[in-house]
Amino acid sequence: MIIVTGAAGFIGSCMVSRLNADGFNDVVVVDNFSEERKLINLKGKHLREYVDRHEFFDWLDQHHEQVEFIFHLGARTDTAEQDKAIFDLLNLNYSKQMWQACVRYHIPLVYASSAATYGSGSLGYSDDEVLLPLLRPLNPYGDSKNDFDNWAVQQEEKPFFWAGLKFFNVYGPNEYHKGRMASVIFHTFQQVQRTGSMELFRSHNPDFADGEQKRDFIYVRDLVDVCMFLMHHRRNSGIYNLGTGEARTFLDLALNTFAALDKTADIKFKDTPEDIRDTYQYFTQADMQKLRSIGYTRPFTRLEDGIAEYVRDFLVPGAYL
């Protein structure tokens, strides 16, 4: 039995799809299932049981002997949210409880951290755990992820295998429900279909031209490949970056989305919203040496190829993974 938290969300539902594709059908999904707009992400999947996130630990007390692995992917991910109490509850303390349960019941754990922990990137993007206490995220979301990473590595009692994955900018199918927090590719597709053009955020940093802000964009299929590798590997516990190792511009994203739609690019710029302007990351690029060093050898999907598949196979037909 495999547990996936955040299973009705973007990454969680893609994780469930990959598990099913690899023959794992005894999957228990954990989430807040009152959000009906996300439930379609799980339609048609082979599932053992739905468990509400607030009832999960009571459920685990009763069923832990059957559980082989936990992917803890559920979190509040709104980078504009400023209420620290929400992140303490849903990201930090819930994750501590998950960790302690995995220790108690000897269950291996992979959990979602974030590249938001790197803040402005002034210390670079190395996943060396020595650097964790020095990182200064730019928002409460990043703080919550970094606080848990720091807490985890300091614990004397750990699951016999665990990995915290610092997700960089993830894109791909099943993010229809994410609204403002969906990928630039999703928003480009939506705007082009409505208006024929796309508005990107203007740069408010003199070191970057408009549209030349760079992020490490990883296709969700690659992300779940790494998760599956770690489920089978179960050695070399620790914190790992999960990006491609190559930063690309937002212009690259938009231009490739227009190309996938066979449309002429028409890109304009608008001011970055004030509520995220001061905490906006202008550059991220994962150092991927650590994951490679433990034996992960698969290449990551080229941005051009990932966008083409995402747009043509999922966004245009409105399909789900």
Residue 190's CB: how many other CB atoms inside 10 A?
14
Question: Is 166 marked as binding a ligand?
Answer: no
Catalytic residue among 105, 178, 282, 296: 178
Please state, in angstroms and rounded to a whole number, the distance separating the CA atoms of residues 135 and 308: 35
Active-site residue 270, yes or no?
no
User: Cβ-count burial of 298 within 10 angstroms (0-12 exposed, 13-18 middle, 19+ buried)?
Assistant: exposed
Residue 215 assigned as binding residue:
yes
**Cα–chain center distance at 151:** 20
- Tell me the Ramachandran region of residue 46: left when phi exceeds 0, alpha when psi lies from -120 to 50, beta otherwise: beta
76 is in an annotated binding site: yes
32 is in an annotated binding site: yes
To the question of whether residue 234 is assigned a binding role by annotation, the answer is: no
- Bridge-based pairing state of the strands 49-52 and 69-72: unpaired
Among candidate residues 161, 168, 192, 148, the one with its CA nearest the CA of residue 303: 168
Q: Is 174 annotated as a binding residue?
A: no
Please state the φ and ψ torsions of residue 243, each to the nearest 5 degrees.
-135, -155
204 labeled binding residue: yes
10 labeled binding residue: yes
Any binding-site annotation on 106? Answer: no
CA distance 206 to 40: 43
187 is known to lie in a ligand binding site: yes
Based on the residue annotation, tell me whether 290 is a catalytic residue of this protein.
no
Q: Between the CA of residue 293 and those of 126, 242, 261, 301, what are the distances in Å?
A: 14, 13, 38, 19
Q: Is 142 annotated as a binding residue?
A: no
Annotated binding residue 280: yes
91 is in an annotated binding site: no
Which of the residues 141, 171, 176, 310 is marked catalytic? 141
**Numbered residues of the known binding site for NADP(+):** 10-11, 31-32, 38, 53, 73-77, 145, 170, 178
**Numbered residues of the known binding site:** 10-11, 31-32, 38, 53, 73-77, 145, 169-170, 178, 180, 187, 201-204, 215, 280
The residues annotated as belonging to the active site are: 141, 178
**Numbered residues of the known binding site for substrate:** 169, 180, 187, 201-204, 215, 280
